[in-house]
Amino acid sequence: MFFVGAFAFAANVSFENVFEAASFPFAHAATLVETPDGGLLCAWFSGEREKSFDTSIWISKRSNGVWGEPREVANGLDPVSRKRYAAWNPVLWKNPKGEIVLTYKVGDSPRMWKGFFKTSRDGGATWSAVEALPEGFLGAVKNKPVVLKSGRIVAPSSTEFHSAFGWRSHFEYSDDGGATWKISAPRISWIETIQPAIILEKDGVLRALMRSRDGYVAQSVSRDGGVSWAPLSQWKIHNPNSGLDAAALADGRFVLVCNPQKNGRNKLSVFISPDGESWREAAKLEDGADGEGYSYPSVLQTSDGALHIVYSDNLRRIKHATLNPWEL
């Protein structure tokens, strides 16, 4: 059951930009993680434009309520050929050791992506040398992996091929801390999806919500820790073929952030659910004019209970919204 009508939104939302001025004209696909000292680390990719060879991964840390100066942390330079490729879609997350991991993709287009990662043991101040994921694995494509009680890592991933299979979501999981990986996926369906977001429910069920090409959010569920997935199903929440994110809250509810319409990215909303099945629109982050674009949200609840969301503001800035989830 869905409740997707008009509401009086009582939630107070505070907004700020992660950076005000920058050397790059393009910024997109932000991601968030909490640092050990209670700060926030945000990463995104920037350059001349999407797909340009000069795009690289940038980060900024928020300490004591202030975002620091952005700095480049990774790029697509091939150390052997010295050719530079576009860097895409960073994902910040914490592995079972508590280290911060930065996963990102390199390639001229999503069809040519290869997955890479770096780790940080000091909250993002310094990073390890870049490492490649095994051939055939991309890692988390847009949204965070989840770590199960067993220590298993389940990373939401996808491929974008113009073939008989089309766009397809899949999941990469590891039982040895990321040393080796396996792949699982819902069976091939007429619903083409990419960029899953995984909600880890209290009973261990994994619920994946996905961007789709058919105008709606799609979902699949796994009851065995990500080894197998139910067939894809279509939701009644609209999606204009745009990235989304979702997470479990500390109070047992779930949050979804997406563009709630079939066309355009000028509106961005927060949805809340008590059970993963019934959802209500709880807050509007953006309600812009046609042609404006607010997209690719990343949502994180920090240890103090606050809800943080970062997203692209017309592909020029990264916007940061803070909400009190108890008001939703």
Q: Which domains are assigned to the chain?
A: 13-327 (2.120.10.10)
Which segment of 6-15, 121-130, 178-187 scores lowest on mean pLDDT?
6-15
Tell which residue, 168, 183, 99, has the closest CA to residue 137. 183
- pLDDT grade for 11, boundaries at 50, 70 and 90: low
Q: What is the pTM assigned to this prediction?
A: 0.95
- pLDDT grade for 14, boundaries at 50, 70 and 90: very high
Does residue 250 carry a pLDDT above 50? yes
